[in-house]
A and B are shown apart, each in its own frame.
Chain A
Amino acid sequence: MELQIESAVFTAILIGCAGYAALFIAPDESTMHAIQRIFYFHAPVAWAGMDAFAVTFIANIAYLATKRPKWDWIGVASAEVGLVFTTTVLITGPIWAHPVWGIWWTWEARLTSTLLLWLLYVAYVMLRKMVDTPERAASYAAIFGIFAYLDVPLVYLSIRFWRTQHPAPVVFGGAGSGLDPEMSKVFFFCVLVMHCLMVILVRQRYQLERLRYEIHEARLAAEDYAARAESFPAVPKEIV
């Protein structure tokens, strides 16, 4: 428990450092100036969100293979955290796009894929909530999660063929792309920090899910005990 608090405090300090680095250490971008600095928040959050969904996918497969509840908890925890991150991406994107492109939104490959990804995982979380039996909810959500993740490359490709406007990939984008070394240091630091935040949130949500499960199990056991006690009236009521 103590380690949890320490790691959370540590991440909070890292977030502070990342904010400072993005605002004051990273060099000024020659055409976009100050507004470009949202990139140090927007892109790392996007990466961490995508990685959270990748974790969901792995957890979904692991759940169906092993049927151990902990994989279901990891699945839902990382899906929800991924959703929060994707929501942030969808909010910070237009804030940047409006001054730079002159529009809030465009139906371009990465924007549209992110929006669809968000819708897919909202559906995942809803499905898991709408199925009443916990084991069935876990398997069904896992099946849907696998379908949703398989859909991601297809969504991206289809919209890529269809239309595109987002700035070409700046990081790992091939020839002609690339960041100034100073920017790159700040950027990867921010990526690291956002991943720390993602891991901490997933861990908290996982523990919450585990507690819920334990309460559910305890309640079932208590009901079972009460039912048995009723069928043997000789047992004094205080024990029940």
Chain B
Amino acid sequence: MGTGRAVAILLGKELRGELRSRELLNTTLIFALIVVVIFSFAFDPTAAEARRFAPGLLWIAFLFAGTLMLNPSFAREQANDTLQALRMAPISPFALLLGKILANFVFLLTAELVLLPVFAVLYNVTILPVIGRLLLVIVLGTFGVVVTGTVFAALASQARMRELLLPLLLLPVLAPLLIASVEATAALLNDEPALDPTWTVFLVAFDVVFFTASWLLCEHLIEE
């Protein structure tokens, strides 16, 4: 079976599973919302202050939501040992990983897109005039989170204390991505909004580096 077709089938399987229960999306979304709300208690945002730390807060909420959401992506397969079945299927390990990555990408992006307007209202941030460029930054950042996160979720799924281990592995690796996403978002929410070329290129570089690494190493990740 070709990689493209295998990926499409796996993506379909993941999306179908999620659409039936909607557990993952609902939990993630509510969790991200709680992070945003809790933050306002910790920092008591006035309008000016809020604008200053809003980009950081937004990305912290995305990252936390991501780490929470990525955990089940491989752990879920263990209940009925379905990963074993996937390994035995005539598909490449890369197709298997890519299917998972794309599914997680769709989930996390959906959660983010729902959260974004709520966040804009709660923190009085104007996003409509820059929505196109903001989406570009969000897509690039989310892809980086999801690529590394899916690989690490596979690593953590075989470990003890996996729910705790995943953020421990993922968050330090995502530090440069967090800086780049926050800075790029901050440049868009400024008084003179502009797409920062340095940080945009940096985000692309991050995505390319880790996507290539995942592609090269996936064979060792999904072996038995």
A residues within 8 Å of B by Cβ?
64, 116, 119-120, 123, 126-127, 130-133, 136, 139-140, 142-144, 146-148, 150-151, 154-155, 157-159, 161-162
Residues in B with CB closer than 8 Å to A144 are 152, 155, 169
Contacts of B221 in A (CB 8 A): 139-140, 143
Indicate if the CB atoms of A148 and B173 lie closer than 8 Å. Answer: yes
Report A76 CB to chain B, min CB distance, Å: 15
Residue of B nearest to A154 (CB): B176
Contact between A150 and B209 (Cβ–Cβ < 8 Å)? Answer: yes
A151-B173, A158-B175, A162-B179 in contact; A131/B220 too (CB < 8 A)? no
Is B165 a contact of A126 with CB atoms below 8 Å? Answer: yes
Residues of A within 8 A of B169 (CB): 123, 127, 144
Contact A147 B168 (CB under 8 A): no
Among B133-168, those with CB < 8 Å from A are: 148, 151-152, 155-156, 158-161, 165, 168
Interface residue stretch chosen among B1-9, B60-68, B198-206? B198-206
On whether the beta carbons of A157 and B176 are closer than 8 Å, the reply is: yes
Q: Which of B186-224 contact A (CB under 8 A)?
A: 198-199, 202, 205-206, 209-210, 213, 217, 220-221, 223
Check A116–B202 contact: CB distance below 8 A: no
In the complex, which residue of chain A has the Cβ closest to the Cβ of B160?
A: A130
| Chain B contacts to A: CB under 8 angstroms | 148, 151-152, 155-156, 158-161, 165, 168-169, 172-173, 175-176, 179-180, 183, 198-199, 202, 205-206, 209-210, 213, 217, 220-221, 223
Report yes or no: B173 in contact with A147, Cβ–Cβ below 8 A.
yes
Known: A131-B159, A139-B220, A158-B202. A150 touches B213 (CB 8 A): yes
Across chains A and B, which 4 residue pairs bring their CB atoms closest together, nearest first?
Answer: A158-B176, A130-B159, A119-B172, A154-B176
Measured between beta carbons, the chain B residues less than 8 angstroms from A119 are 172
- Which among A116, A147, A162 is the interface contact of B148 at CB below 8 angstroms? A147
Bound Cα distance A123, B159 (Å): 12
**B173-A120 in contact (CB<8A):** yes
Contact A143 B220 (CB under 8 A): yes
Among candidates B148, B158, B160, B205, residue contacting A140 with C-beta atoms closer than 8 Å: B158
A64 / chain B contacts, CB cutoff of 8 Å:
217, 220
Complex-state Cα separation, A157 to B180, whole angstroms: 10
Cα distance, A133 to B158, chains bound together (Å): 9
Partner of A146, one of B152, B159, B160, B217: B217
